[in-house]
Structure 1
Amino acid sequence: MNDKTIVTHDGNFHADDVFSVAALKCVFPTFNLVRTRDNAIIQEADIVLDVGGEYDALAGRFDHHQRGGAGEREDGIPYSSFGLIWKHYGVQICEGDEELAKSVDAGLVSTIDAIDCGHTAGVTTGISLSHTISMFNPTWQETGDFDACFNEAVSFASRVLARFIASANGGLSAKAIVAEAIEKADDPRVIVLQQYTPWKRTVHSLAPEALYVVYPSQTGQWRIQTVPAELGSFEDRKSLPQPWAGLNGEALQAVTGLDDAMFCHNGLFIAGAESFESTMKMAAIAVNA
């Protein structure tokens, strides 16, 4: 067997060392994991992370606790062991897709690094993924096996990492689809998607005139949705017409003059009709209201 020996520190663990091991599981089918601070074992290991006081990717050393740390990103977020591992192996884990690797770093890796390094400016407060990983440690009232708990945390982190990569990949694919729809729009105020894809971030960055997005629902009907004034905001660039608020079926059909209009949310941010044609007519009414 030519399995590598990967070493990290023993005892209490955090998200950076847990996710580092989860990432390495994507690269190496099997390896021997040793959790220790024994310098003799560390010196003989193939890969060392979050311990050892050395950062040298080519030598397989990925610690950030040494004096001066291990560098930082352009936005000032320092690297923890996870960031160093991702910097070296991220593109490989993402099957050669550099843009995807950067997206995962921006959305997941850098946040874990920031919390681990105490660089919390701009990091959302409350229970974070890093805090969740820390809760896998035995509490002071428990006599659990730290290594067994670490392995459990790695299994959880591996699943999170895989789903985050899949989500980031979906977001990048959606960006291209939405960008094309924006370019092809007959009216820049109404963006039409032939299939539902996440659209808000791309519309905000590329379509400042857009007021509504029209797309098919999973059940075959069509929807019209307002573009938020800001990402994450409950305010819209332009709400749907006030007389539609909370109406369904015949009541909405009477107001719109469309015999297959289905509903309009009371919050005036989404409505729907059976057909594409009627949904586009709803968009035209809304634009001119």
Structure 2
Amino acid sequence: MATEIATKRVKINPPIIGTHNGHFHADEALAVYMLRLLPEYASAALVRTRDPAVLETCHTVVDVGGEYDDSKKRYDHHQRSFDTAFPEHQTKLSSAGLVYLHFGRAIIAQHTKLPVDHPDVELLFRKLYDDFIEAIDANDNGISKYDGSRLQEAGIDQKFKDGGVTLASLVNDLNHEDPLTLGTPSKSTEDQPQAEEDYRFSQASTLMGTTFLRKLHGAATAWLPARTIVKEAFDARNNAHPSGQLMVLPRAGIPWKEHLYNIEDDGKLSADSKVLYVIYPEKEEPGSKWRVQAVSKDFSSFENRKSLPEPWRGVRDADLDALLGEAVEDGAVFVHASGFIGGHKTEAGVRAMAALALAA
């Protein structure tokens, strides 16, 4: 009986997460935030140190310690023997990738309120890695997206410097003193520098974590539901135009590009049978204007499979009506100067514009 009473009085302390102190990076900042999204870590304390004896007392350790062992909740990637990558990928994982690999499905299941083994959880798990986590892994491991020597051999020059606007660079900026407090008297306590550093790390963790959550929320609430809509529109494309190269979306704001490319790849469509134009209403309300958009050659390309006809480009309103002729009812709005998109006041009008473009 005494043992039973004593057991009931035992207070289970929240787990302690350990990571290194000193200069911090985007990967451990995100790793810590992701762990704290889960109920078992929601109230976890964080210790930032390189002292092995202190790290040994931590429940979970990320980005330090020289050990990767999920059974012991140790997630470092700096040891020479480490070569773990996400399934079907080649990029070596960072601490963010390791935490995501082992806890990502549970985080997604909790956010979506789906069972962890639901197929949609798996879809989101892989998408979030492709769209967000892998770039963090690559950055921390010094892996470039392109082979610099091959670019140099091809004579491809960088047009502008973009390294200062990445998430990793913004996290790096937080390693330095707040410019708004420079010149103010420093505190006299010995632990103040570590406290200030820990505070800046918390800001970095919040920056990375809230960005991750926005990506997850968008994928779960917009990208995933759009998959079914785009598939239905794709299957009905021959009803939209005999060529099968026009797809009609039923409403505005549907993220369609990635789904369309995936559907075409899955169907192994030849280049001359792929969709060239997509039409959709600009807004949700009745009477909305409609748009016709050229499909780009790939997801990140600014080059189109077939741009809208050159004579239409940069022309608006009545001048555009005159160019389109009697085949399209009056009400044309514009065609962008690059030929990637155009608009009409009615669905019938934009369908006719697309038909003319396909025939051109």
Instruction: Give the aligned residue type for 1:146.
Output: E
- The aligned counterpart of 1:2 is 13
> By how many angstroms is 1:85 displaced?
0.5
- The aligned counterpart of 2:169 is 131
Instruction: Give the aligned residue type for 2:202.
Output: N
Is structure 2 residue 93 aligned with structure 1 residue 79?
yes
Match of 1:100 among 124, 135, 138: 124
Match of 1:39 among 28, 35, 52: 52
Task: Check whether the contact 1:63–1:70 (CA below 8 A) recurs between aligned residues.
Answer: no
Instruction: Give the aligned residue type for 1:85.
Output: V
Worse overlay, 36-45 or 69-78: 69-78
- The aligned counterpart of 1:119 is 143
Instruction: Give the aligned residue type for 2:24.
Output: F
1 CA distance for matches of 2:312 and 2:235?
Answer: 30
Q: Deviations over 1:45-91 (max 9, x none)?
A: 11111111211112211111223025224432111111110011000
SS at the partner of 2:231? Answer: helix
Q: How many residues align?
A: 289
> By how many angstroms is 1:155 displaced?
1.4
Task: Check whether the contact 2:167–2:208 (CA below 8 A) recurs between aligned residues.
Answer: no
2 CA distance for matches of 1:160 and 1:210?
Answer: 33
Task: Check whether the contact 2:30–2:209 (CA below 8 A) recurs between aligned residues.
Answer: yes
SS at the partner of 1:284? Answer: helix
> By how many angstroms is 1:121 displaced?
4.4
SS at the partner of 2:343? Answer: strand
Q: Which structure has the larger Rg over C-alpha atoms?
A: 2
Task: Check whether the contact 1:55–1:70 (CA below 8 A) recurs between aligned residues.
Answer: no
- The aligned counterpart of 1:165 is 216
- The aligned counterpart of 2:43 is 30
Identical-residue share of aligned pairs (%) = 35
1 CA distance for matches of 2:340 and 2:142?
Answer: 39
Structure 1 unpaired stretches of 5+: none
> By how many angstroms is 1:30 displaced?
1.2
> By how many angstroms is 1:243 displaced?
3.0
2 CA distance for matches of 1:267 and 1:6?
Answer: 52
Task: Check whether the contact 1:111–1:123 (CA below 8 A) recurs between aligned residues.
Answer: no
Q: Deviations over 1:164-220 (max 9, x none)?
A: 112333333323321221111123111100023122233334344211100010272
2 CA distance for matches of 1:116 and 1:199?
Answer: 31
- The aligned counterpart of 1:204 is 261
Is structure 2 residue 337 aligned with structure 1 residue 266?
yes
- The aligned counterpart of 1:240 is 308
Is structure 2 residue 55 aligned with structure 1 residue 18?
no
Is the alpha carbon distance of 1:138 and 1:72 closer, same or farther for their aligned partners in structure 2, counting shifts above 3 Å? same
2 CA distance for matches of 1:149 and 1:251?
Answer: 57
2 CA distance for matches of 1:92 and 1:67?
Answer: 29
Instruction: Give the aligned residue type for 1:236.
Output: N
- The aligned counterpart of 1:193 is 249
Q: RMSD value over aligned CA atoms?
A: 2.4
> By how many angstroms is 1:147 displaced?
0.8
Structure 2 unpaired stretches of 5+: 1-11, 110-115, 149-161, 187-192, 265-270
Task: Check whether the contact 2:335–2:343 (CA below 8 A) recurs between aligned residues.
Answer: yes
Is the alpha carbon distance of 1:58 and 1:202 closer, same or farther for their aligned partners in structure 2, counting shifts above 3 Å? same
2 CA distance for matches of 1:276 and 1:121?
Answer: 41
Is the alpha carbon distance of 1:235 and 1:65 closer, same or farther for their aligned partners in structure 2, counting shifts above 3 Å? closer
